[in-house]
A and B are shown apart, each in its own frame.
Chain A
Amino acid sequence: MTEAGHLSTKQRRPDWAALFIGIGLFAIAALVAFDASRLGGAASYARIGPQTVPYAIALVLAGLGLWTVIEAWRGDFPRRERQEIVPVLWIVGGLIIQMTTIRFVGFSISTGLLFAMTARGLGRVNLAFAVVVGIVLSFLVWILFARVLQLTLPAGPIEHLLLPG
């Protein structure tokens, strides 16, 4: 919608991103078929075994890949709005930090960092303030779920310090 000028001329050139999806579907189909080819054993008896459905799925995926390539070539895929990449990176970064640190620093700190980075990705917020809010909120959630509802959530220095044992 932002580039209304380009809309009038219908895209007739290949949609490279969509083309890439089609090729990706071929790759997945090949992978599924290759994996199925290693399976076997009981198949000879009933003509159906663990490899039957994967082969069928691989076949259809290849067909869908071809269909996608054709649509991509004709430019039939829906137009995409321009995407802001920086906010996405903030959130993905937050998830990676949480994933890698949770074992060492506990639920509250790692999830607090995820909270802050997500908030930063979605708008102009003060990062330091968001970190504090995130850690406090995560700690409250930790008390509720780990203590009251007996869910196993990793503990770290904050949890040990404030609620020992």
Chain B
Amino acid sequence: MDTFALLFQGLTVAMQPINLLYALIGVTLGTAVGVLPGIGPATTVALLLPITYKLDPAGSLIMFAGIYYGGMYGGSTTSILLNTPGESASIVTALEGNRMAKRGRGGPALATAAIGSFVAGLIATVALAFIAPYVVKFALAFGPREYFALMVLAFITVSAAFGDSALRGLTALFIGLTLGIIGIDLQTGQARLSFGVPDLLDGVEVTTLAVAMFAIGETLFVAAQGTRVPDTVEAVKGSVWMSRQDWARSWKPWLRGTLIGFPIGAMPAGGAEIGTFFSYATEKRLSKHKEEFGNGAIEGVAGPEAANNASAAGTLVPLLTLGLPTSATAAIMLAGFQQYGLQPGPLLFVNSPQLVWGLIASLLIANLMLLVLNLPLIGLWVKLLTIPKPWLYAGILLFATLGTIGANPSVFELGMLLVFGILGYGLRLFGFPIAPVVVGLILGPLAEQQLRRALAISQGNVAVLVQSPIAAVLLTLAVLALVVPIILRARGKGQVLAQVAADND
């Protein structure tokens, strides 16, 4: 069957009223958490995992994807009006967007961000639908060693390739990998790193770790900064509609941003942040209004916002076709699949086409909903930003603990939440990235499984890992992704990499 037929079938799944409702809940929640500081899409999906355990898999996954897309839209609102990015992929938007808002052009800035996100989300989702079947065909030839090599590459790009320090990225990754080996070894039934504690035999819950690291760690960190600089919300002055000139200056950056963002998200190359920086640099170089950059150039909002949404869609390519998460949100969505006994990868396309194509089609609908939520209703979201900080973070902790209590209200589980929360605070304090810990915890056991399979086939011969051309290429890329940035940093060219740090979601 060709892609159009499959996508159409998916649309019939996505158009079922109950799935439309899930999508609406997802995009609404996603926009809200994207707008709010201190809580992002990764945390929100993690919070919802225990709550959605009893729901229909297709519906919940549609909701999670809606949260992911919504988070990308909502983040831009905070960046533009508050100069504090709601999530890390919106850092660049803050550069020009906040300047525009200060000059009374907040409305058009929000509009170009929302419409650009819509255009990019639409194109990128269609691209996802067309590329996925090819990747699936390619991936069917993958054996354990190719998967292992692919995961090693993902580990390196998520932890060491970007950010200001390979050391701290790798350390965060290996903390995650260490947490990943806790519990019963599935192949031999032996308990590892459990020290006779029965609660540890099942391993560390991804949801507990993610919620603790992101929500509690962030709350502690914000609290520890004391009351330093009060944030000022820029009021939206004037019309939210863009002038003819705004349109003329926006449409090319939207398309270019999509073109940059999608491949970066689709490759195992880390989160949505990277594309936004490239897009910003490109727009700055190509603009006829270079003098406006730094003072509120609309291209600097349009391009990066498109790139950021296109990346989010791109991230779903490796997640759905290979089971490979390349951002924290994708990692937690993988946990969401696993909760229903589903393993994303080529076989999912064969075994559950309804679910996969329903999910992809629902993204198109989610995009449309987001455009409506973010343009006419923008004033509502801005009100969220006026919640005083104490009440906001108190509410975040209420919901952060809710998921864990619902899953397992034991003192032990809540204790883990506290310990990992303090760990998350410590990591932030010393400049360690958080995402690699989460990716390591969830991807580590899968990588180990593939490695042991590959070595069992070869009877322990390690050379077999590089004897397949695909695996050899992937491992070479991984080595390059590790070594080249270290050399760049040593030569004092690390600032660019530091800016591209994949921070939160």
Question: Which A residues lie at the B interface, using CB under 8 A?
Answer: 17-18, 21, 25, 28, 31-32, 35-36, 39, 41-42, 46-50, 52-54, 57, 60-61, 64, 67-68, 71, 77-78, 80-81, 83-85, 87-88, 90-92, 94-96, 98-100, 102-103, 107, 111, 114-116, 118-123, 125, 130, 133-134, 137-138, 141, 145, 149-154
The residue on B at minimum CB distance from A96 is B418
Interface assignment of B219: CB less than 8 Å from any CB of chain A: yes
Q: Which residues of A sit under 8 angstroms from B394, Cβ to Cβ?
A: 114-116, 118-119, 122, 130, 134
Q: Do residues B188 and A42 form an inter-chain contact, with CB atoms below 8 A?
A: yes
Given the interface pairs A64-B170, A98-B401, A115-B395, the reply to whether A77 lies near B227 with Cβ below 8 Å is no
Q: Which residues of A sit under 8 angstroms from B192, Cβ to Cβ?
A: 35-36, 39, 50, 54
In the assembled complex, the Cα of A52 lies from the Cα of B188 at a distance in Å of 13
In the assembled complex, the Cα of A107 lies from the Cα of B401 at a distance in Å of 10
Q: Which of B392-444 contact A (CB under 8 A)?
A: 393-395, 397-399, 401-402, 405-406, 409, 411, 414-415, 417-418, 421-422, 425, 429-431
29 A–B contact pairs at CB < 8 A? A25-B171, A42-B188, A47-B459, A47-B460, A50-B187, A50-B188, A54-B192, A57-B174, A64-B170, A85-B224, A91-B220, A91-B223, A91-B397, A92-B220, A95-B401, A98-B414, A100-B411, A114-B394, A115-B395, A118-B219, A118-B390, A118-B394, A121-B390, A122-B389, A123-B227, A130-B390, A137-B398, A145-B402, A154-B409
The residue on B at minimum CB distance from A142 is B402
Q: How far is the CB of B54 from chain A (nearest CB, A)?
A: 7
Interface of A is mostly: helix
Q: Which of B460-498 contact A (CB under 8 A)?
A: 460
Q: How far is the CB of B425 from chain A (nearest CB, A)?
A: 7
Interface assignment of B500: CB less than 8 Å from any CB of chain A: no
Q: Which residues of A sit under 8 angstroms from B188, Cβ to Cβ?
A: 39, 41-42, 49-50
Q: Which residues of A sit under 8 angstroms from B187, Cβ to Cβ?
A: 50
Q: Do residues A67 and B216 form an inter-chain contact, with CB atoms below 8 A?
A: no
Q: Do residues B393 and A46 form an inter-chain contact, with CB atoms below 8 A?
A: no
Interface assignment of B134: CB less than 8 Å from any CB of chain A: no
Interface assignment of B372: CB less than 8 Å from any CB of chain A: no
Q: Do residues A32 and B178 form an inter-chain contact, with CB atoms below 8 A?
A: yes
The residue on B at minimum CB distance from A58 is B178
In the assembled complex, the Cα of A163 lies from the Cα of B110 at a distance in Å of 45
Q: Do residues B193 and A35 form an inter-chain contact, with CB atoms below 8 A?
A: yes
Size of the chain B interface, CB-CB below 8 angstroms: 60
Q: Which residues of B sit under 8 angstroms from A88, Cβ to Cβ?
A: 220, 223-224, 425
In the assembled complex, the Cα of A145 lies from the Cα of B190 at a distance in Å of 37
Q: Do residues B225 and A81 form an inter-chain contact, with CB atoms below 8 A?
A: yes
Per-position binary interface string of chain B over residues 112-151, scored 1 when its CB falls under 8 Å from any chain A CB and 0 otherwise: 0000000000000000000000000000000000000000
User: Which of A95, A116, A121 lies in contact with B223, CB distance below 8 A?
Assistant: A121
Q: Do residues B406 and A151 form an inter-chain contact, with CB atoms below 8 A?
A: yes
User: Which of A41, A83, A121, A153 lies in contact with B405, CB distance below 8 A?
Assistant: A153
Q: Do residues B411 and A46 form an inter-chain contact, with CB atoms below 8 A?
A: no
Residue from A54, A61, A98, A122 having most chain B Cβ neighbours under 10 A: A122
Given the interface pairs A77-B431, A81-B225, the reply to whether A39 lies near B51 with Cβ below 8 Å is no
Q: Which residues of A sit under 8 angstroms from B455, Cβ to Cβ?
A: 46-48, 52
In the assembled complex, the Cα of A119 lies from the Cα of B51 at a distance in Å of 25
Q: Do residues B164 and A78 form an inter-chain contact, with CB atoms below 8 A?
A: yes
Given contact pairs A94-B397, A102-B409, A141-B399, enumerate 17 new A-B contacts (beta carbons under 8 Å): A35-B193, A39-B188, A39-B192, A50-B187, A50-B192, A53-B452, A84-B224, A91-B216, A91-B219, A103-B409, A111-B405, A114-B401, A118-B219, A119-B390, A122-B219, A133-B391, A154-B409
User: Which of A18, A49, A145 lies in contact with B51, CB distance below 8 A?
Assistant: A145
Given the interface pairs A46-B459, A92-B418, A103-B409, the reply to whether A64 lies near B167 with Cβ below 8 Å is yes
The residue on A at minimum CB distance from B223 is A87
Q: Which residues of B sit under 8 angstroms from A78, Cβ to Cβ?
A: 164, 430-431
The residue on A at minimum CB distance from B405 is A153
